[in-house]
Amino acid sequence: MIALEGIVKRFGALTALDGVDLTVERGTVHAVVGENGAGKTTLMGVLGGIVAADAGTVSLDGEPVRIASVEDAYAHGIGMVHQHFRLFRRLTVAENVVMGREPRRRGGYDHAAAEALVDELGRAHGLRVDPRARVGELSVGDQQRVELLRALHRAADVLILDEPTAVLTPQEAEGLFGVMRELAGQGRTVLFISHKLREVLTVSDTVTVLRRGSVTGVRRASETDERELAGLMVGRAIESAYQAPDTPAGEPVLRLEALTARGLKPLDLEVSAGEIVGVAGVAGNGQTELAEAIAGLRPREGGTLTIAGRALSDATVAQRREAGLAHIPEDRYARGLAREATIAENLLMGTHRRRFRLDRRAMNARARELVEAFDVRAGDVGDRAATLSGGNAQKLVIARELAGEPAVVLACQPTRGVDIGAAEFVHAQLRAARDRGAGVLLISADLDELLALADRIVVLYEGALVGESRDEAELGLLMAGAHA
């Protein structure tokens, strides 16, 4: 048995782990699930010798142990495969696997022995990779196999896999699940970190749920379901049904008349105050181009654009924002945030030019209010935005964009890659923006999201708007180009 008891970890003012108990039986696949920021990686870091806990104990088979480094962890048979690979891309598979524990011959590195060893390990565990291939030339699925082989070579009995499927195709993920089951069958223990409940239920024996640094439940996978786990993750029942607005839509606040840009056919579209208009479509049918044309990031080739009654066809991004346009971009890291700037600075961006001089104290105070109001789980507003998890990074973007009560909200893939709790929060914020009278244009590849949120749904197909519906089957046909 592997037992962590009363684990506490603080990062400054933030308590990432608040007295966590985790008990794992050997020879099983044990999942640790939770929203982004729940503390999963930190908890695994404690077991893997990467994070020094402030309190609590780790014991293996009843004996308390001290794991102060990755080497200590390996000495106890514990190996961690990270969310972000730590491989040397220019070295071969074999060199990466044996690094630090190289077979030697006549005082030098024994290539042949290393390659044979990797071959044998791969065969034994169903993890076949060419030992001579350069890691940088491998697919991510293969790179992950190399990470696993490396941990196995260090004699890991306990394998920690931190969100291993995030980078895999569904087929690669299936393959990995097979390997995990096989390892457990050989008596090894697999700790599987994920927030994808469907796959957690497929592959694990037991599930421990974390929420905000505390355990909210431990379940046998055979005795629970996605709904229950989701509830434990976010602490309440999940609401995803469509909620119509209380008041009818008002005047148009966003109007496109025959607007064209590179990649787009002439588009006519109106979004009124107090409504959410969804844009459905298979990815790559002009969604990015449409968003850029509205936001001012892609030059107009024809037609007109009106925001809150002002003709802004060729206006700059700043002028559009002044007129009341908020933009939640699809790539939050490339466009939504400056990762190296602080949380407070990110919250100010876009309005900072209106100020004569930065009052840091006021900026931080305001940032703290927004972080609180938009439930951004962060340490301190002076921390870099890069320290935020995906869901919290998205909440930060949303906090900045919605705080000024914009007339028009352009929301692009607003919940892509964020977990259930954060997605639900984002949805509630968009509904609230609508209910206070904003016009929301929601561009999403997720039809469930559109059906849950949008009052009207139009379909983008090959750069043209080809129809409108709220019927799932009809939308599917339009998305496939059936209007023609």
Binding site for ligand ADP (CB under 6 A): 11, 14, 16, 34, 36-42, 377, 379, 387-389
**Residue matched to tokens 């514990």:** 78
Smallest gap from residue 431 Cβ to ligand ADP (A): 26
**Piece in contact with Mg ion (CB under 5 A), picked from 37-45, 197-205, 278-286, 310-318:** 37-45
**Tokens representing residue 428 in the block:** 């509630």
User: Of the two residues 37 and 141, which places its CB atom closer to Mg ion in the complex?
Assistant: 37
As a whole number of angstroms, the distance between CA 378 and CA 343 comes to 9
User: Of the two residues 39 and 164, which places its CB atom closer to ligand ADP in the complex?
Assistant: 39
Among 41, 143, 208, 346, binds Mg ion (CB under 5 A): 41
For position 194 contacting Mg ion by CB under 5 A, the verdict is no
Q: Identify what 426 binds: ligand ADP, Mg ion, none; CB under 5 to 8 Å per kind.
A: none
Q: Identify what 304 binds: Mg ion, ligand ADP, none; CB under 5 to 8 Å per kind.
A: none
**Tokens representing residue 165 in the block:** 């499927």
Helix H or strand E segment including 271:
strand 267-272
Q: Identify what 238 binds: Mg ion, ligand ADP, none; CB under 5 to 8 Å per kind.
A: none
Q: Radius of gyration (Cα) for the chain, nearest Å?
A: 25
Q: Identify what 278 binds: Mg ion, ligand ADP, none; CB under 5 to 8 Å per kind.
A: none
As a whole number of angstroms, the distance between CA 60 and CA 404 comes to 53
Smallest gap from residue 243 Cβ to ligand ADP (A): 29
Instruction: Please enumerate in sequence order all residues whose Cβ is within 8 A of that of 432, keeping only pairs 6 or more positions apart, or say none.
Output: none
| Residue 461: φ, ψ to 5° | -140, 120
User: Of the two residues 35 and 95, which places its CB atom closer to ligand ADP in the complex?
Assistant: 35
DSSP 452-476: HH-SEEEEEETTEEEEE-S-HHHHH
User: Of the two residues 126 and 235, which places its CB atom closer to ligand ADP in the complex?
Assistant: 235
CB 193 within 8 A of CB 160: yes
**Tokens representing residue 3 in the block:** 């037992």
Smallest gap from residue 215 Cβ to ligand ADP (A): 13
For position 165 contacting Mg ion by CB under 5 A, the verdict is no
As a whole number of angstroms, the distance between CA 464 and CA 291 comes to 13
Smallest gap from residue 36 Cβ to ligand ADP (A): 4
Smallest gap from residue 69 Cβ to ligand ADP (A): 17
Smallest gap from residue 180 Cβ to ligand ADP (A): 19
Name the nearest CA neighbour of 265 among 475, 442, 460, 411: 460
Q: Partners of 11 in the beta sheet?
A: 14
User: Of the two residues 41 and 92, which places its CB atom closer to ligand ADP in the complex?
Assistant: 41
As a whole number of angstroms, the distance between CA 379 and CA 395 comes to 14
Long-range pairs for 204-208 at CB < 8 Å and ≥24 separation?
Answer: 204/28, 204/29, 204/30, 204/31, 205/25, 205/28, 205/29, 205/30, 206/24, 206/25, 206/28, 206/29, 206/30, 206/31, 207/30, 207/31, 207/32, 207/33, 208/22, 208/30, 208/31, 208/32, 208/33
**Tokens representing residue 369 in the block:** 């209010």
User: Of the two residues 416 and 456, which places its CB atom closer to ligand ADP in the complex?
Assistant: 416
**Piece in contact with Mg ion (CB under 5 A), picked from 1-9, 40-48, 235-243, 352-360:** 40-48
Smallest gap from residue 353 Cβ to Mg ion (A): 36
User: Of the two residues 82 and 321, which places its CB atom closer to ligand ADP in the complex?
Assistant: 82
Q: Identify what 379 binds: Mg ion, ligand ADP, none; CB under 5 to 8 Å per kind.
A: ligand ADP
CB 48 within 8 A of CB 70: yes
Q: Identify what 34 binds: ligand ADP, Mg ion, none; CB under 5 to 8 Å per kind.
A: ligand ADP
User: Of the two residues 383 and 474, which places its CB atom closer to Mg ion in the complex?
Assistant: 383
Smallest gap from residue 214 Cβ to ligand ADP (A): 12
Smallest gap from residue 430 Cβ to ligand ADP (A): 23
For position 42 contacting Mg ion by CB under 5 A, the verdict is no
Smallest gap from residue 40 Cβ to ligand ADP (A): 3
As a whole number of angstroms, the distance between CA 440 and CA 429 comes to 11
User: Of the two residues 43 and 267, which places its CB atom closer to Mg ion in the complex?
Assistant: 43
The residues of the shown chain that bind Mg ion, judged by CB under 5 A, are 40-41
